[in-house]
Chain A
């Protein structure tokens, strides 16, 4: 699995309230949520057309705060194809994998600028910053997580594993 996209850069400790403010949580419709993705740190972000297929790059502890699953859902539905951060909050990490939002930890995120074109190769654990012509190696995705992402999320995976038979 490989993806390529333009970067949008955010700082450290982006919390779930910033990813999707609580006042928009009166719906669980992913596309409604997507409109307000990052609303409080970058107003209008979720409604931009050019974020489709792009990559969010952020600092430490991305997704800290509450355990709300709406946060990765909003990011995914907004069309973001991957989040690269220095580190992720534990529950956000879990929630992201569960809904099949690919996320990658990378120490050198400071070297990325807004607009850089980046390629992520999950299988081989390689991130290429095509604009800066630099390559980084990261942990390749363990097979289990790759499968979960391939099936489109944890519950989709469960469904497949139960042979679609949940009786």
Chain B
């Protein structure tokens, strides 16, 4: 069995499951945010819901428009807050204690290896890094979990990505996943589970794995799974969770497989308007693309390692006078750690703006909207038309290293040459 089949068969209490099979399963964790929870709550009430099935499984994270950007978002967050109080949902995260959903859930040990996680957010697949079957669903599905704690799912086929070797300096997990998306295409993994396997996995840190699983959806993937190995077991142990290692079976059937040697990778830049539109940085640098804004953060690259990498590059440098550089730690914890390690100081000295945790500009919400014709280099995950502001603005996706180097140079730049 593949990793996906293993987790799902365990959840279904069956010896094995086949791709294409439909299952009715108990959910371990269900997640909704300030955009999607209000509709779920409304549906739950409309269908006569009084007490949610199991409040300990529900997680409500206001992260998209917080601290409340306007009256409408304030009302939405208030709805979540009131519902959490009324239903005694412990896992509601208030400003000052919060973070982006996909950064805090694994970090706080709310999701763990082997779990079945559904979220009314497409990047729920992030938790695949822990070896959890995690996938994005609709608000109605979350209402269903509120009512009976269950979800229906189709067992997906799987794609194997076999990794070897390790990254060269300034090449990151982000570059790997961008490369994979450019090979598979934005719908190359639709309905499928992408599984990252091979000896190269050992060389990828947990933060790196979150970045990779996070973007499985950008290739259309239902989830993006890593095996549970030494590193995962260690990560969970630090959170007082005991888990067993888990690998796919030798004879697991994969729909397709791909081999990648990490050593051969260069930093990548995804050109507008698709995450699959990638170029190697050495090529991209030649295009001399002038940058107006740089964003370092999001559920893709807002973790401590991302900030460390950016700080390493910003040390003894300044943001180009024509660039605005916005840094957004993914959670209060990440922020505190960055402070303690002196990273925030480096950013401030380099004249970056450092924000409290929020999704903010990633979806064109607030805290850095682009004007007409402006260009951003961003460590986020989508560069669709108008994603970060004006429909005539452009977003180039890259790693924190490329983003930081570009902020210093003022054009899309190679961090290895700084």
Contact = CB atoms under 8 A, between A and B. Distances in A.
Contacts of A61: 187
Interface stretch (B139-147, B280-288, B325-333, B361-369): B139-147
B170 interface: no
Contacts of A148: 152
A166 B50 contact: yes
B24 A144 contact: yes
Nearest to A144: B22
A91 B141 CA distance: 11
A40 B85 CA distance: 43
B344 interface: no
B220 A90 contact: yes
A161 interface: yes
Contact of B148 (A89, A97, A158, A167): A158
A97 B190 CA distance: 18
A166 B147 contact: yes
Contacts of B143: 155, 158
B276 interface: no
Nearest to A162: B148
A155 B122 contact: no
Nearest to B20: A139
Interface string B122-151: 100000000000001111110110011010
Contacts of A164: 48
Contact of B138 (A67, A145, A156): A67
B47 interface: yes
B61 to A, nearest CB: 18
A13 B282 CA distance: 35
A167 B146 CA distance: 11
A72 B85 CA distance: 33
B191 interface: yes
Interface string B88-118: 0000000000000000000000000000000
Given A67-B122, A158-B47, A90 B138 contact: no
Nearest to A155: B47
Contacts of B47: 155-156, 158-159, 166
A51 interface: no
A155 B138 contact: no
Contacts of A67: 122, 138
A142 interface: yes
A69 B47 CA distance: 17
Contacts of A99: 140
A91 B138 CA distance: 8
A87 B70 CA distance: 40
Contacts of B147: 155, 158-159, 162, 166
Contact of A167 (B23, B50, B187): B50
A94 interface: yes
Contact of B43 (A89, A95, A155): A155
Given A155-B47, A166-B47, A167-B50, A90 B148 contact: no
B209 interface: no
Contacts of B23: 144
A166 B222 contact: no
A98 interface: yes
Contact of A166 (B21, B51, B137): B51
B188 interface: no
B22 A145 contact: yes
A92 to B, nearest CB: 10
A89 B190 CA distance: 8
Given A148-B152, A154-B144, A98 B138 contact: yes
B49 interface: yes
A139 B20 CA distance: 10
Nearest to A95: B138
Q: Which of A69, A94, A98, A158 neighbours the largest number of chain B CB atoms within 10 Å of its CB?
A: A158
A148 B144 CA distance: 12
A132 B41 CA distance: 47
Contact of A90 (B22, B50, B152, B190): B190
Interface string B182-194: 0000010011000
A91 B144 CA distance: 16
B123 to A, nearest CB: 12
Contacts of A97: 152
A161 B148 contact: yes
A153 to B, nearest CB: 8
Interface string A6-25: 00000000000000000000
Contacts of A167: 50-51
Contacts of A144: 22-24, 152
Contact of A155 (B22, B50, B140, B220): B140
Given A90-B190, A166-B48, A154 B140 contact: yes
Given A154-B144, A158-B143, 20 more contacts: A67-B122, A67-B138, A90-B191, A91-B138, A95-B138, A98-B138, A98-B141, A98-B144, A99-B140, A139-B20, A144-B23, A144-B24, A155-B140, A155-B144, A158-B47, A158-B144, A159-B47, A162-B148, A166-B48, A166-B51
16 contacts: A89-B190, A90-B191, A90-B220, A90-B222, A94-B141, A95-B138, A97-B152, A98-B141, A144-B24, A144-B152, A155-B143, A158-B147, A158-B150, A159-B47, A161-B148, A166-B49
3 closest pairs, A vs B, by CB? A158-B147, A142-B22, A158-B148
